[in-house]
């Protein structure tokens, strides 16, 4: 059930205590499938105009180990951008993986395979963002869709400290807030990238968090 806080609708769903990925003890890429007691427990929120959100708390239970592995082994880079008359650091570190089957922790590979089993169109790449503290953030945006398509899915796995992912409809309207924390999964689907925007705002106090975004072909 959603509850209202300061003009933003905040969503929570019941936590699923046993991770679908814990039920796959070995990295057997030939026989991994989505567990019916895992992704089948996703909470779907219909946003209207063909957009929707799937949300599942605590999908990964070994998120601390996965987080530490990504910190050490992901090819992190510090991007810079033009802001008015100067060039500044983008407030987060990023990395990109063109083959999610080669992500540096087997839990993420199993997550990738389980998501591909669950959704109709396969995910083909993974972007990573490392929010080092509450000062790191990402501004309001919709992800770029390079192919001519009306609908797509982006699956976000959250690792580390909790941070709110906020969404707002393009053209105005109430915002939604999903408190993504340890091992949570959120999937933005349908027309969400073209009819809604999303952001991770700055907060006063927060520990480090890594967001792993599985993307389908033609989505940046």
CA 92 to each of CA 6, 57, 149, 181: distance values in angstroms, whole numbers, following the listed order: 27, 24, 29, 17
Rounded to two decimals, what is the model's pTM? Answer: 0.82
pLDDT for 39 equals: 92
Q: Hey, what are 117's tokens? A: 């089993």
Residue spans of the domains in the chain: they are: 3-216
Which secondary-structure segment (H or E) carries 109? helix 106-118
Round to whole Å and give the CA distance between 7 and 73.
40
pLDDT tens figures, 12-58 = 443 333 333 433 333 343 333 335 448 989 999 999 999 999 999 99
pLDDT tens figures, 96-138 = 999 999 999 999 999 999 999 999 999 999 999 999 999 999 9
pLDDT for 17 equals: 34
pLDDT tens figures, 52-107 = 999 999 999 889 999 999 999 999 999 998 888 899 899 999 999 999 999 999 99
CATH 3.40.50.970 fits 3-216, yes or no: no
């Amino acid at each position: 059930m959603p509850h209202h806080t300061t003009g933003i609708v905040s969503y929570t769903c019941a936590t699923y205590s046993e991770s679908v990925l814990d039920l796959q003890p070995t990295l057997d890429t030939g026989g991994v499938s989505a567990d019916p007691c895992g992704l089948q427990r996703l909470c779907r929120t219909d946003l209207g105009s063909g957009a929707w959100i799937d949300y599942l708390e605590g999908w990964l239970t070994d998120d601390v180990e996965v987080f530490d592995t990504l910190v050490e082994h992901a090819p992190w880079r510090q991007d810079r951008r033009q802001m008015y008359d100067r060039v500044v650091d983008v407030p987060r570190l990023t990395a990109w993986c063109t083959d999610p089957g080669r992500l540096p922790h087997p839990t993420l590979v199993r997550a990738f395979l389980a998501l591909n089993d669950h959704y109709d169109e396969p995910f083909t790449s993974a972007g990573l963002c490392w929010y080092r503290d509450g000062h790191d953030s990402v501004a309001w945006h919709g992800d770029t869709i390079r192919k001519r398509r009306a609908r797509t899915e982006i699956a976000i796995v959250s690792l580390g400290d909790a941070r709110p992912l906020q969404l707002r409809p393009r053209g105005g309207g109430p915002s939604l807030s999903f408190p993504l924390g340890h091992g949570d999964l959120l999937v933005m689907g349908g027309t969400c990238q073209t009819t809604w925007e999303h952001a991770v705002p700055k907060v006063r106090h927060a520990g480090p968090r890594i967001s792993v975004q599985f993307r389908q072909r033609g989505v940046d």
